[in-house]
Amino acid sequence: MRDAAPPALVDSHCHLDFPDFDGEHAALIERARATGVTRMVTICTRLRNEPAVRALAEAHEGVFYAAGTHPMGVAEEPMASVDQLVALAAHPKFVGIGETGLDYHYTAESAALQQESLRIHIEAARRTGLPLIIHARDADDDMARILTEEHRAGAFGCVMHCFSSSAALARTALDLGFYLSMSGIAAFPRSSDLREIFAAAPLDRILVETDSPYLAPPPHRGRRNEPAHVVHTARVGAEVFGLSFEDFAAATSANFDRLFAKAARPDGRARA
């Protein structure tokens, strides 16, 4: 008698094109599937790399992609245009806009450019109906202000990727109808305050991710992360919400399908 298949999970944010994974895409995707990860979204952070990221999604069932200009690279990259992002969205496996956002921890000197870029990505999300993927670090006030202003100007979907900001920013995002994504940071022993923020959020607004190759959760902390390891973060998430692992996996997968509706099937085809 075969063992039961593990509960299906989604890694909603990873970076399969990074050199950390060169030459092992097939193997790491197979390892992810063995743990129950049936789908993953690989994120392009510089638009000049979009063809390579697209090729990864095209080559593997269950792999989707998103593209945008990461806030830490805005000063070094050509400013994206709304039309450019909208054109990319025509691809059947292109499922999100970004990651975009604000990072004042390392790149505060480019704050004005980051804000301009963020607003461009928001408009692309509006026009395409695809969710915005937000990176936020040490920029809570400006992030809350811009997201609120822009949402009032026209609604859009959004996930706060790898959320590790304040409870106030979490509340702003949730009040706007956005989602919070739980990464390996939430599984770190000293992240009790962050776990409390997630516990106060509605279950139907929670996603899980690896952000691999970064932020590996225990027991892999300090080593390279990969999509298979999202199972460890999901187990912590289940504890946070007082659920069985199976119920938490089902809930976060349903949340992913709701937000990333274009990726609701592993092969990327629209529902009948």
pLDDT in tens, 120-148: 999 999 999 999 999 999 999 999 999 99
Under the banding of pLDDT at 50, 70 and 90, the label for residue 267 is low
Domain ranges of the chain: 9-263
Under the banding of pLDDT at 50, 70 and 90, the label for residue 20 is very high
d(CA 146, CA 105): 18
Q: Which of 111, 102, 101, 99 is nearest to 53 (CA)?
A: 99
Residues facing residue 156 across a β-bridge: none
- Antiparallel, parallel or unpaired: β 179-182 and 206-208: parallel
Percent of the chain scored above 90 by pLDDT?
Answer: 94
**Which tokens go with 272?**
């009948």
At residue 1, the pLDDT reads: 45
Q: Which CATH class is domain 9-263?
A: alpha beta
Q: What is the pLDDT of residues 92-126, one digit of tens each?
A: 999 999 999 999 999 999 999 999 999 999 999 99
d(CA 233, CA 208): 7
Residue 99 vs residue 265, higher pLDDT? 99
d(CA 73, CA 40): 23
Q: What is the pLDDT of residues 47-64, one digit of tens each?
A: 999 999 999 999 999 999
